[in-house]
């Protein structure tokens, strides 16, 4: 049965109005308010007049005033849906980098900034003296993902940001409250002697963060760049090659990291527009031609979520002359001890142990790589040996109650010089990177999706639960659902399932389909339906069981439809409620709606008489036992 849709963008009386624009303005203001509230919480120091904290508080006060005025305008406009949403849930990401920069000897060592990098445009040995991460910061903090989730980034430098863009310098993990963060991203820029190793107490602090569900991203570059920051962290240490032979911290069984030069270097620099396949200049890393990567596919055709977008599979990354390498662990049975605290590196749950995977490989092509810039070291003599290598690794710790981990072969996939160009490149087009052509921009869009996907996939389970409820709340006020979900309307089961399909279609226009699916499966995992719901398509425990295969689209539509119908049914006028009360009301409505949607799904599956009998029976038994309140996380 189809649901008649009113004319989009109208008020109750059918007249056109500014409701949609006011709604967008209000959402943007509330997003900004949440960002600055979190910024205030994470900013140390005094709060007196003229201080940084005082300036942030003044910004918060102005935003609150503007929100109140905009809300009053919305209410006075008699718009279709009362719009007092819950606060946007913010995912807090701590990004940490290292590397000492000496301005008197700028060519020494490796260092990086959270800003745009060294912008010196004269070619000299001291040019490109430090790298920049500002594009990644921009992608995360200005994300266009259409869901009630914002990434708040705190930037910490273990040494000192050469350009002053860090929120904190000389950062120590054991001096920070890591429980404030959902994720920690580690850019190990310096090698031994170029920065300090993590202390035992810092390693213990990070290990506790991971054990409690916090997500970790980690990367370095060739040889032992990144070892001081990342080389001893549980799981991270054994998912990538970090060490050279002779390093005091190198585990005996750990393989040696790839060299920077020579025929065995991991060189992904791609031939340029000149068509020369045998001589590929170093600065081609800054042109508009990416390298091709080769994702692992599950169930024949499904890439890992990190490499999945709303429009397909991510198959490109920036190229670079000497990358590191992702590996699978040399041991799955070790226990690490830091500061007298022990941590099982790869824990098991219910007898099942999740292990890291290489989710994408890349290809080294045979050629020499001369550098025509004094600031960069190439290899004009050695022809690389063609071979495949691990480019991206992932560990799904959620299946065993700990945090997820992502590792990447090089931070050159993230630095500006490989994304938007090299200021000292002799070819002016290489000063613009992927931005100089339409093909380059398309590749850059996919690479930026990769950055966002890392941030989404690493979100801890407890944060995912809150985000799921907020996602449903926002869905009800997006087109065409805002035109369908009118207050006081009663929906039958067919209409509820159609609403679920509309919701799924609306999400797929702006989000990879894996985001709502994983949120749903995570939400159901610890519920009475945990045994009835099969694992997600990427699970290492996804072996088919008789009577338990499922079309995940049906599950998604039933959950979304039931929850949305119940939210609108229970929402009413929330204008007098606090954000906390509204959030609680939404969570209760979501739990009740999911029970309704799954109940309808169970009946339909039984009627179909398909191979989904076990799933249908599991749903029915759980609901008949009145276990629904346990959904309310």
| 3-class secondary structure per residue, 536-572 | CCCCCCCCCCCCCCCCHHHHHHHHHHHHHHHHHHHHC
Are residues 152 and 42 located together in one domain of the fold?
no
pLDDT score of 20: 56
Count Cβ atoms below 10 Å from residue 502 Cβ, excluding itself.
Answer: 24
Q: To the nearest whole number, what is the mean pLDDT of the chain?
A: 84
Residues 6+ apart with CB under 8 A from 607: none
For 481, the token pair is: 């659902």
- pLDDT category at 611 given cuts 50, 70, 90 is very low
Q: Tell me, yes or no, whether 183 and 62 share the same domain.
A: no
pLDDT at 490: 87
Residues 405, 183: Cα–Cα separation, whole Å: 10
- Residues 24-62 have pLDDT tens digits of 677 677 767 777 877 776 777 777 777 888 788 888 888
Does pTM surpass 0.85? no
pLDDT of residue 230: 98
Do 387 and 314 lie in one domain? The reply is yes
Residues 119 and 228 in one domain: yes
Q: Which residue has the higher pLDDT, 38 or 347?
A: 347
587 domain-assigned: no
Flag whether 330 is in a domain: yes
In percent, the amount of the chain with pLDDT more than 70 equals 82
* pLDDT, position 626: 47
pLDDT band, very low/low/confident/very high, at 628 (cuts 50, 70, 90) = very low
Q: What's the pLDDT at 3?
A: 35
H helices of 212-333, where? 227-230
- Gyration radius from the chain CA atoms: 26
Confidence category of residue 433, pLDDT binned at 50, 70, 90: very high
Answer whether residue 19 shows pLDDT above 90: no
Asked, for residue 473, whether it belongs to a domain, the answer is no
- At a CB cut-off of 8 Å and minimum separation 6, what does 566 contact? 589, 590, 592, 593, 596
Please report whether residue 218 resides in a domain.
yes
Residues 292 and 352 placed together within one structural domain of the fold: yes
Residue 590 lies in a domain: no
Higher-pLDDT residue of 131 and 605 is 131
Q: Is 70 helix (H, G, I), strand (E, B) or coil?
A: helix
Q: What is the pLDDT of residues 151-202, one digit of tens each?
A: 999 999 999 999 999 999 999 999 999 999 999 999 999 999 999 999 999 9
Same domain, 135 and 65: no
Domain membership flag for residue 381: yes
pLDDT at residue number 470 = 79
Least confident of 88-102, 335-349, 468-482: 468-482
Q: Return the structure tokens found at 281.
A: 């200049």
Instruction: Give residue 105's pLDDT.
Output: 64
pLDDT at residue 361, rounded to an integer: 98
Q: How far apart are CA 517 and CA 338, in angstroms?
A: 37
Joined together, the tokens standing for residue 537 give 């398509």
61 is a domain residue = yes
**Model pLDDT for residues 529-549, shown as the tens digit of each residue:** 666 666 778 877 654 444 445
Same domain, 268 and 183: yes
Is residue 14's pLDDT more than 50? Answer: no
Residues 74 and 96 in one domain: no
Residues 148, 46 share a domain: no
136-145 tens-digit pLDDT: 999 998 866 5
* pLDDT number for residue 38: 72
Element (H, E) at 344: strand 341-344
For residue 597 the two structure tokens come to 């949607």
Q: Which of 45, 66, 85 is the last residue of a domain?
A: 85
| The pLDDT of residue 442 | 96
Q: How confident is the model at residue 409 (pLDDT cuts 50, 70, 90)?
A: very high
Report the pLDDT value the prediction gives residue 529, as an integer from 0 to 100. 65
Mean pLDDT of 298-308: 90
- Indicate the number of domains in the chain: 2
pLDDT digits (tens, 9 = 90+) for 546-604: 444 567 888 899 999 999 999 888 765 555 566 566 677 777 888 888 888 988 888 88
Q: Are residues 200 and 97 in the same domain?
A: yes
Q: Which two tokens stand for residue 28?
A: 């943007």
With respect to residue 220, please indicate whether it lies within any of the assigned structural domains. Answer: yes
Give the end of a domain, one of 420, 442, 457. Answer: 457
Helices 493-508 and 461-475 cross at an angle (nearest 10°) of 110
420, 438, 457 - which closes a domain? 457
User: What range does the domain containing 61 cover?
Assistant: 1-85
Q: What is the pLDDT of residue 73?
A: 74
Ramachandran area for residue 177 (φ above 0: left; ψ -120 to 50: alpha; else beta): beta
Distance from C-alpha of 153 to C-alpha of 184, rounded to nearest angstrom:
10
């Amino acid at each position: 049965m189809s649901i008649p849709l009113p004319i989009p963008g109208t008020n109750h009386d059918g007249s056109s109005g500014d409701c949609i624009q006011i709604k967008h303005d209000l959402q943007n203001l509330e997003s900004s308010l949440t960002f600055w509230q979190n910024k205030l919480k994470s900013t140390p120091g005094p709060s007196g007049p003229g201080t940084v904290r005082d300036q942030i508080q003044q910004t918060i006060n102005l935003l609150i005033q503007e929100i109140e005025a905009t809300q009053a305008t919305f209410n006075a406009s008699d718009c279709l849906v009362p719009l007092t949403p819950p606060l946007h849930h913010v995912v807090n990401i701590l990004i940490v980098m290292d590397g000492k920069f000496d301005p008197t000897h700028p060519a020494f060592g490796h260092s990086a900034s959270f800003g745009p990098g060294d912008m010196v445009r004269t070619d000299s040995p001291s040019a490109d003296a430090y790298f920049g991460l500002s594009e990644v910061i921009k992608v995360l903090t200005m994300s266009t993902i259409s869901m009630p989730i914002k990434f708040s980034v705190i930037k910490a430098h273990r040494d000192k940001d050469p350009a002053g863009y860090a929120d904190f310098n000389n950062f120590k993990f054991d001096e920070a409250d890591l429980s404030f963060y959902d994720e920690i991203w580690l850019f190990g820029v310096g090698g031994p002697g170029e920065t300090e190793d993590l202390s035992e107490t810092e390693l213990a602090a990070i290990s506790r963060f991971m054990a409690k569900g916090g997500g970790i991203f980690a990367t370095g570059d060739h040889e032992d760049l990144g070892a001081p920051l990342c080389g001893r962290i549980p799981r991270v240490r054994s998912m990538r090659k970090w060490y050279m032979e002779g390093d005091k911290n190198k585990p005996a069984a750990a393989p040696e990291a790839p060299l920077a030069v020579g025929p065995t270097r991991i060189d992904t620099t791609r031939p340029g527009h000149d068509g020369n396949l045998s001589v590929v200049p170093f600065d081609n890393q800054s042109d508009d031609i990416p390298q091709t990567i080769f994702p692992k596919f599950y169930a024949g055709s499904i890439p890992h979520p990190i490499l999945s977008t709303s429009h397909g599979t991510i198959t490109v990354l920036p190229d670079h002359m000497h990358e590191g390498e992702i590996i699978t662990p040399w041991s799955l049975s070790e226990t690490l001890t830091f500061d007298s605290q022990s941590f099982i590196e790869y824990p098991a749950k219910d007898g099942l142990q999740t292990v890291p995977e290489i989710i994408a490989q890349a290809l080294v092509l045979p050629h020499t790589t001369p550098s025509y810039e004094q600031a960069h070291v190439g290899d004009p003599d050695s022809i690389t040996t063609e071979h495949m290598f691990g480019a991206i690794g992932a560990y799904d710790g959620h299946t065993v109650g700990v945090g997820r981990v992502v590792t990447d072969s090089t931070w050159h996939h993230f630095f500006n010089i490989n994304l938007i160009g090299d200021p000292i490149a002799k070819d002016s087009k290489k000063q613009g990177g992927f931005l100089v052509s339409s093909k380059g921009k398309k590749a850059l869009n996919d690479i930026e999706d990769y950055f966002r996907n890392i941030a989404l996939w690493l979100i801890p389970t407890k944060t995912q639960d809150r985000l799921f409820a907020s996602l449903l709340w926002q869905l009800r006020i997006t087109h065409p659902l805002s035109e369908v979900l009118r207050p006081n309307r009663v929906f039958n089961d067919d209409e509820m399932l159609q609403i679920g399909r509309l919701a799924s279609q609306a999400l797929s226009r702006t989000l990879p389909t894996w985001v709502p699916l994983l949120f749903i499966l995570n939400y159901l995992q610890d519920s009475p339906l945990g045994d009835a719901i099969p694992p997600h398509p990427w699970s290492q425990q996804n072996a088919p069981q008789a009577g338990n295969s499922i079309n995940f689209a049906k599950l998604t539509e039933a959950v979304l439809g039931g929850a949305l119908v119940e939210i609108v049914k229970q929402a009413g006028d929330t204008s007098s409620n606090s954000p906390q009360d509204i959030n609680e009301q939404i969570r209760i409505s979501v739990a009740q709606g999911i029970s309704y949607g799954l109940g309808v799904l169970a009946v339909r599956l039984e009627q179909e008489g398909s191979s989904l009998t076990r799933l249908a029976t599991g749903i029915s038994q759980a609901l008949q036992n009145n276990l629904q309140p346990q959904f309310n996380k």
